[in-house]
Amino acid sequence: MPAMTTATSDIHSSTVITGDVSLGNNVTIGPNCVLDGTIGSIVLGDGCRLVANVYLTGPLQMGRGNTVWPSAALGGPPQDVNYDPRSPGEGLIIGDDNIFREGFSAHRAKTDAPTRIGHHNYCMACSHVGHDSVLGDHIQLANGVLVAGHVTVGDRVIMGGNAGVHQFCNIGKGAFLQGMAAVSMDVPPWCIASGLASVGGLNLIGMRRSGMDKEEIKRRRDVYKLMFRSNLSMATVAEQLRRDGDVIGCEYADFIEQSTRGVCKSTARIGRRSQS
């Protein structure tokens, strides 16, 4: 017998629920959804809505107020030919108030920490988050965005249609990936990535929309110029930013020093491109 616990929820008669599944209050599950808790437990928080034809596999923990649209699949095994799909791994943990549109997929982890998706994210149709990745809050993934395994994405990142991110990359807070961008190196905070592993400017509009004051924007412009217009190595840039000692400079110094894939190169002058 399934070990299902449910509070006050609306479950369509065609829904299939097996294994260890727990539902919060006011959960809505539409037609033809499958919740498979046989490999690991599934927990849905209060107010979650599965529109229809949604497939969930445990271990999966979802917070409050999430909406999942048809053909989305959450918690499946990593896309790795050497991974045993019967292994639960460390699962997938999702925060609150996310929207996952049609065909979205996110896979559970295969290492010692779960795949994580934070709060208030909007993932459009056919976008994907790979195993062991960690996404922050207020992120937007446009249609067809592909985030590979072991990727870290900071808060307020926006990725345009069909952008792709290579394994183990770090996308800094507030970065903007233009449509079709192919990122194989790290993108610093509030930078715009375009083309193939290149930075084309600062996300000035994104900074203003976030409420950032003029002094902070000016400092980030100065840091950008040092990183991409000084012809200094990134190691030297990090040393200088560390000597400057201010919070913003140290933020970028940390980003450079913690990079394992290297920082994207720049191809355009500051101010020529900005998110609209």
Residue-wise pLDDT tens digits, 43-69: 999 999 999 999 999 999 999 999 999
pLDDT the model gives residue 106: 99
The number of beta carbons lying within 10 Å of the beta carbon of residue 86 is 8
Q: Which fold has domain 5-150?
A: UDP N-Acetylglucosamine Acyltransferase; domain 1 (2.160.10)
Contact criterion met (CB below 8 Å) for 92 and 75: yes
Low-confidence ranges of the chain (pLDDT < 70): 1-7, 268-276
pLDDT at 267 (0 to 100): 76
The order of strands in the sheet holding 140-141 is 10-11, 28-29, 49-50, 67-68, 99-100, 122-123, 140-141, 158-159, 176-177, 191-194, 198-202, 265-266
Give the Cα separation of 270 and 246 in Å (integer). Answer: 22
The b-or-e profile of 15-34 (16+ CB within 10 A means b, else e) is bebebbbbbbebbebbeebb
Q: How many other β-carbons are positioned within 10 Å of the β-carbon of residue 217?
A: 16
Task: Enumerate the domain spans of the chain.
Answer: 5-150, 208-266
**Who's near 214: CB < 8 A, 6+ residues apart?**
none
In whole angstroms, give the CA distance from residue 89 to residue 110. Answer: 5
Compute the C-alpha angle 115/167/250, nearest 5°: 85
Kindly report, residue by residue over 135-146, the tens digit of the pLDDT: 999 999 999 999
Beta bridge partners of 183: 165
Give me the pLDDT at residue 11, please.
97
> What is the predicted pLDDT for the residue at 9?
83
Amino acid identity for residue 131 in this structure: H
Q: Which CATH number fits domain 208-266: 1.10.3720.10, 1.10.260.40, 1.20.1180.10, 3.40.50.620?
A: 1.20.1180.10
Q: Which of 96, 113, 94 is nearest to 105 (CA)?
A: 94
Tell me the pTM. Answer: 0.94
Cα–Cα nearest to 27, from 43, 7, 48: 48
The Cα–Cα gap between 107 and 146 comes to 12
pLDDT recorded at residue 274: 45
